[in-house]
Amino acid sequence: MNLEARLGDVTNSDNKIILPESQLPQHWYNIVAELPFDVPKPLHPIEDRAVEINDFDWLWPRECLRIELQEEEYGTDAWIAIPEFISDVYRRYRPSPLVRARSLEKHLGTPAEIYFKREDLNPAGSHKFNTALVQAYYATQEEDSQIHCMVTDTGAGQWGAALAMACETLGLACSVFMIRKSYDEKPYRRYMMRMAGADVYSSPSELTATGRQVLRDDPDNSGSLGIGMSEAIEFVKESPGRRLALGCMSYYAVLHQSIIGLETKLQLEQIDRSPDLMVGCVGGGSNFTGFIAPFVRDKIEGSPIEFRAIEPESIPTLSEGEYRYDWADFSELTPRILMYTLGHRFVPPPVHSGGLRYHGKTPVLSALVKNEVVGTRTFSQREVFDAGRLFLKTEGVLAAPESAHAVRGAIDAARDASKTGQNQVIVLCLSGHGYLDLKGFSDVLDLDTPN
């Protein structure tokens, strides 16, 4: 058997492009300071005015609000220094490798080069830890604060697991309202959160008025992200020592995730490549926007690079949603933001990519799509999970269902390149691993049936 044919051409250069720890970026890239168009700031949830910090400093860490409202340096400086403590923790798992997907290329018979940036190798298994850590850190740095606990809601549990690990790292308590359906059906991330020391509650819970009301009306209610977020907000309101942490739709998460793109840029420079296409999956938009952010100015200045955001066919926010002000939560407690949205009352279908079930996308990504800097594509769940299986078989990496959307996007582009014979460089962001999502893969790919 010709085994070389299965591996691809491995003789001409390395598979893994590794940055030494000494080259870990020292700054995040603050893309809003350099865009040729404004990214509008959030509005008050009800009143007709901009949000001010003291409207919400009981709810969010102040530094998160300063970033979100583009205050001072966050409105003007392209480079924001990464605190030393954060760099020290990042160095546990960063810089992360950029890997050439040679076996996948070989399998596809494509002239394209495919690279994937690995965000699955950190303590919680996805890019979410990159920002959870910083949000918890900000909470510990507030003057005169007695903040001792971070609170959040979680669906499938990736965000909860990331925050639990972050709080443990910072010596903070962590309370997670986990949607009852996932709490019951997906126990492994719940176990992981508890192992890291977090309190995990099934939502709707008896802990809050919202939860009690929902349970009174419907004792079997299986929960939703809307109810979970309302419970989390109420739980924060009860005590001055608590603050909310949010994963995806905020700009501060995008800022922190720019570390992904900054490393990727250095790695591609190291092998003398520049990307023709960058692909990622979008839930709230944080991993993809952080991944492309440092390349956006090149594009605006005329370089022919293409950015493609991939969504599930059943949640086509960027592809088919409206561009308008909307709330991030079901109960209209959070600021209104200008974004692509399917409406804050949109109930997403029960797809297995829990991290992509958001009705809206972060304002900066929405503005990039609106201004035609970023393009979009959708794929069906079956197309995506087949791509996840092919990626496991060829590259030996089990992508999260969310990340398999990016893999699918890259495979499609590589197939197009085969047709045109173009020697493209395609780079995808592998936002997380799928080891705790195998049940979802099984449901779609029917893995209970012997081959």
Ligand X SMILES: *Cc1c(COP(=O)(O)O)cnc(C)c1O
Residue among 25, 211, 261, 284 that touches ligand X (CB under 6 A): 284
Q: Which is nearer to ligand X, 65 or 282 (CB)?
A: 282
Cα-Cα-Cα-Cα torsion 376, 380, 381, 382, nearest 10 degrees, comes to -130
Residue among 402, 408, 412, 441 that touches ligand X (CB under 6 A): 402
Pairing label, strands 113-118, 98-100: antiparallel
Token pair of 142 as six digits: 């507030």
Residue among 281, 293, 351, 390 that touches ligand X (CB under 6 A): 281
**Are the C-beta atoms of residues 136 and 163 closer than 8 Å to each other?**
yes
User: What's the rounded Cα separation, in Å, for the pair 143 and 447?
Assistant: 53
Pairing label, strands 277-281, 306-312: parallel
Which parts of 340-379 interact with ligand X (CB under 6 A)?
A: 355-356
Q: What is the DSSP string of 262-307?
A: HHHHHHHHHTT---SEEEEE-SSSHHHHHHHHHHHHHHHTT---EE
User: How would you class 18 by CB atoms within 10 Å of its CB: exposed for 0-12, middle for 13-18, buried for 19 or more?
Assistant: middle
Give yes or no for residue 282 binding ligand X (CB under 6 A). yes
Give yes or no for residue 285 binding ligand X (CB under 6 A). yes
Residue among 70, 286, 334, 394 that touches ligand X (CB under 6 A): 286
Shortest distance, CB of residue 47 to ligand X, whole angstroms? 28
Pairing label, strands 199-203, 374-379: unpaired
Task: Using alpha carbons, select from 386, 408, 389, 385 the residue that is nearest to residue 397.
Answer: 389
Shortest distance, CB of residue 350 to ligand X, whole angstroms? 16
Shortest distance, CB of residue 190 to ligand X, whole angstroms? 15
Q: Which is nearer to ligand X, 268 or 429 (CB)?
A: 429
Q: Which is nearer to ligand X, 128 or 243 (CB)?
A: 128
String of contacts with ligand X for each residue 413-442, x by CB under 6 A: ------------------xx----------
Residue among 30, 70, 96, 158 that touches ligand X (CB under 6 A): 158
Shortest distance, CB of residue 132 to ligand X, whole angstroms? 11
Q: Which is nearer to ligand X, 150 or 225 (CB)?
A: 225
User: What's the rounded Cα separation, in Å, for the pair 385 and 390?
Assistant: 9
String of contacts with ligand X for each residue 287-306, x by CB under 6 A: xx------------------
User: What's the rounded Cα separation, in Å, for the pair 443 and 401?
Assistant: 12
Residue among 100, 128, 189, 242 that touches ligand X (CB under 6 A): 128
Residue among 70, 96, 122, 126 that touches ligand X (CB under 6 A): 126
Using CB under 6 A, list all residues that contact ligand X: 126, 128, 158, 248, 281-288, 355-356, 400, 402-403, 431-432
